[in-house]
Amino acid sequence: MIDYSERIARLQQKMREKQTGGFLVAQNVDIYYLCGSMQTGYLFVPVEGDPVFYVRRSVVRAEEEAQVEVEPIGSFRSWGERLKARFPQVFGGGQQKQPVVATEYDVLPVQQFQRLQTMLPGVQWADGSAMIRETRMIKSAYELDRIRAAARLIDEALEHALGLLRPGMAEFELMSEIEYYIRRRGHLGLMRMRGYNQETITGMVGGGAAAAMPTYFDGPAGGQGLSPASPQSAGRRKFERDEPILLDIGCCIDGYVIDQTRTAVIGELPGDLAEAYAVSEQIIRSTEQLLKPGTISEHLYFNSLDLAEKAGLALHFMGYANDQVKFLGHGIGLEIDELPVLAKGFTYPLQPGMVIAVEPKFTFPQRGVVGIENSYAITPDGFEKLSVSREGVLRV
């Protein structure tokens, strides 16, 4: 079902282009992507030849799951010598230049990296973060199937939540109903993020002023949360009539996530917020016209900025004032924050197999957040909208 050898071959091609002899894969999601197991250890991928998964624990489970050769890592002190002996094409003594080995600088702790440097003296280390993230950027048929399954489930959960929504209901009560619904139907309970110190649970459910409360989370809507120990998403505030309710919820099936947002209201939105919501749909429709192979990812962001400016809503777009985030959307897959990012400086041309979430939103301090978010797969002739939930302001 999953062709791991094809994934490894694509990474090896990038390694050849970067003149990298080996890749020491350290992050659990990257390891899982390349070999099918998420046990603790390191996957070593040579630029030529087959990889080996060196496992600390559980070796037994790794041997059952991994689609590559598995070896116990054993003593960390002696592992470096065994690694050199196993891969002479990378570490061979007759080379004139230092062997170049890449690893994921974006997620590997400094302490762990220093241990690797000590274990493999004489190695020239390189940042392989972009190589592995770009390899994962293009989704297979299996990956698209899992994201579609997550989209179908979150659509069911949205309708379930709308049936429960009422004035006086606390945000966290509605969120817990959503989580219970999807957990019983296969949601893993995880929504993984790669970004440093970034965390999310199932998404963000918030009403009125609480949804507009800024926080550390790198997104246009933060939420108050239940405590400063988790200052995001649903809190104890109760929903009121005629205020925007943001339902930014996701789901993870077999490791793959969907990201989707809808705006609801108990009653009617105030006129200016309803107009802002209409602009968010205008932006997403305009973005859809550009979702085709060859479009440069940052151009989607620039187009959205132009539309928000013309609508007189630039100050409210993707957050408010100094708390605005500088993107329109992002890739999704095994993690929520994958490539490509729809932001300035990201010049990836859209390619078939990319999956992106597009989320134009407008934040109004002390009043709320309105907007929409859909996930899309890029196809050879355009796009497939993976989100299946109904659009428009959802009135309860």
Query: What are the DSSP calls for 68-130, one per residue?
Result: SEEEE---HHHHHHHHHHH-HHHH-TT-SSPPEEEE-TTTS-HHHHHHHHHHSTT-EEEE-HH
Backbone angles phi, psi at 249, to 5 degrees: -125, 150
Torsion of CA 82, 86, 89, 94, to 10 degrees: 50
Look at residue 1 in the predicted model and tell me its pLDDT: 83
Peptide bond into 230 cis (omega under 30): no
Structure tokens at 130: 């972009």
Helix pair angle (141-164, 171-183), 10° resolution:
140
Give the separation between CA 214 and CA 210, rounded to whole angstroms.
9
Task: Supply the pLDDT for residue 95.
Answer: 58
Check: CB of residue 7 under 8 Å from CB of residue 30. no
**pLDDT at res. 200:** 87
Listed residue (61, 65, 56, 69) closest to 8, CA to CA: 69
Q: How far is CA 127 from the centre of its chain?
A: 20
pLDDT tens-digit profile, the chain (396 residues): 899 999 999 999 999 999 999 999 999 999 999 999 999 999 999 999 999 999 999 999 999 999 999 999 999 889 999 999 999 999 986 556 889 999 999 999 999 999 999 999 999 999 999 999 999 999 999 999 999 999 999 999 999 999 999 999 999 999 999 999 999 999 999 999 999 999 888 999 999 999 999 999 888 988 999 999 999 999 999 999 999 999 999 999 999 999 999 999 999 999 999 999 999 999 999 999 999 999 999 999 999 999 999 999 999 999 999 999 999 999 999 999 999 999 999 999 999 999 999 999 999 999 999 999 999 999 999 999 999 999 999 999
- Taking the alpha carbons at both ends of the chain, their separation in whole angstroms is 42
Kind of pairing between the strands at 203-207 and 245-253: antiparallel
- The pTM of this model reads 0.96
Q: What are phi and psi of 162, to 5 degrees?
A: -65, -30
Q: Which of 369, 161, 159 lies closest to 277 in space, CA to CA?
A: 369
Q: How far apart are CA 103 and CA 23, in angstroms?
A: 6
Please state whether the peptide bond connecting residue 220 to the residue before it is cis, i.e. omega within 30 degrees of 0.
Answer: no
Residue type, 219: G
CA 202 from centre of chain: 12
CB 378 within 8 A of CB 331: no
Domains of the chain: 4-136 (3.40.350.10), 138-395 (3.90.230.10)
At residue 369, φ and ψ (nearest 5 deg) are -130, 135
In Å, what is the CA distance from 206 to each residue of 121, 234, 259?
52, 6, 16
Helix (H) or strand (E) holding 217: none
Q: Alpha helices of the chain — where are they, by DSSP H?
A: 4-17, 28-35, 59-65, 76-86, 88-91, 110-119, 129-137, 141-164, 171-183, 208-211, 271-290, 297-310
Whole-number Å distance between alpha carbons of 211 and 222: 6
Contact indicator for 131, 195 with CB cutoff of 8 Å: no
